[in-house]
Amino acid sequence: MAKRIDVSGLHVYYGDFLAVEDVSMTIEPRSVTAFIGSSGCGKSTFLRTLNRMHEVTPGAYARGKVLLDDMDIYGPDVDPVLVRSEVGMVFQKANPFPTMSIYDNVIAGARLNNRRMSRSEADDLVEESLRGANLWEEVKDRLNKPGSGLSGGQQQRLCIARATAVKPSVLLMDEPCSALDPISTLAIEDLIHQLKEDYTIVIVTHNMQQAARVSDRTAFFNLSGPGKPGKLIEMGETNQMFTRPEKKETENYITGRFG
């Protein structure tokens, strides 16, 4: 299930503009890796290159190598659609399909790959995914109601259920809690702890307590200067990053003496 990600020498461009420069890192399976850094430092951009979602932005492209176990996701005959069903994503703003019921939202991605799913298979998958997202008890009596009727935190967990229903090996989360209240945030963080049993999880966050709470390893990104591309400054065990970072820049950011 969970797979290792190996990035080497990755540059990301928006047209002529180099947005992220020369990132190399290894992301361990069955662990949570947090990306921290100030806004605009390229951590979200870099996250999106891990499932080729950056290609949705016109003019964006990446140079370098990203290995998912043995598969080079930028290989010449690799289909980005396939990459994305292996590497799922949860976004900053919960985005369930507004016209679909809770049930249909969960099953939407899985239906794409397996059109002939029987009713009972689908029911099982919906229940399994919603249970996995700690949402089943809250919605089991209203599966046919629209997903947009849920609270923000529930919607985000619905999006996580939708992503896991596709059975990816990696789950990317782009600031999944930044629009949520503390209680809902806690629910998501608990969920992340459970999910790392089965998935490789990468989370971008602006909340350093959150990074400290949920992640095993932390990567700090920063701009090399105004108007310059973003870079990976340092990456290591979360404990060590927050207590004894190797670089001065990291320490400044973590202790709030930044900028």
Partner 1 sequence: MTTTDAPQAAPPPTGKRRIGDAVFAGLARGSGLLILLILAGVAAFLIIQAWPSLAANTTGFLTTQEWDANVRENPAFGVAALAFGTVLAAAIALLLATPVAVGIALFIVYYAPRRVASVLGYLVDLLAAIPSVVYGLWGIGFLAPQLVPVFRGLTEYLGWIPLFSGPASTSGRTILTASVVLAVMILPIITAMSRDVFKQVPQGHREAALAMGATRWEMIRLAVLPFGRSGVVGGAMLGLGRALGETMAVAMILSPSLAISFDLLQSGNQTIAAHIALQYPEATGYGVSALIAAGLVLFAITLAVNMGARYIVARGSKEA
Q: Which residues bind partner 1 (CB under 8 A)?
A: 51, 53, 56, 58, 81-82, 84-86, 88-89, 91, 93, 95-100, 108-109, 112-113, 159, 162-163, 166
- Other beta carbons within 10 angstroms of residue 26's beta carbon come to 13
Neighbours of 80 (CB within 10 A): 14
CA atoms within 13 A on the CB side of 111: 12
CB atoms within 10 A of CB 241: 26
Query: Measured from the CB of residue 84, what is the shortest distance to partner 1 in angstroms?
Result: 4
Running DSSP on this structure, what letter comes out for residue 116? T
Nearest distance, CB of residue 65 and partner 1, angstroms: 22
| Nearest distance, CB of residue 114 and partner 1, angstroms | 11
Residues belonging to the chain: 259
Q: Residue 91 or 136: which CB sits closer to partner 1? A: 91
Distance (Å) of CA 117 to CA 39, 85, 114, 121, 147: 42, 17, 6, 6, 22
Pick 93 or 247: Cβ nearer partner 1? 93
- Return the number of the residue (161 or 232) whose C-beta is nearest partner 1: 161
CB 217 → partner 1: shortest distance, Å?
A: 23
Q: Which is nearer to partner 1, 83 or 233 (CB)?
A: 83
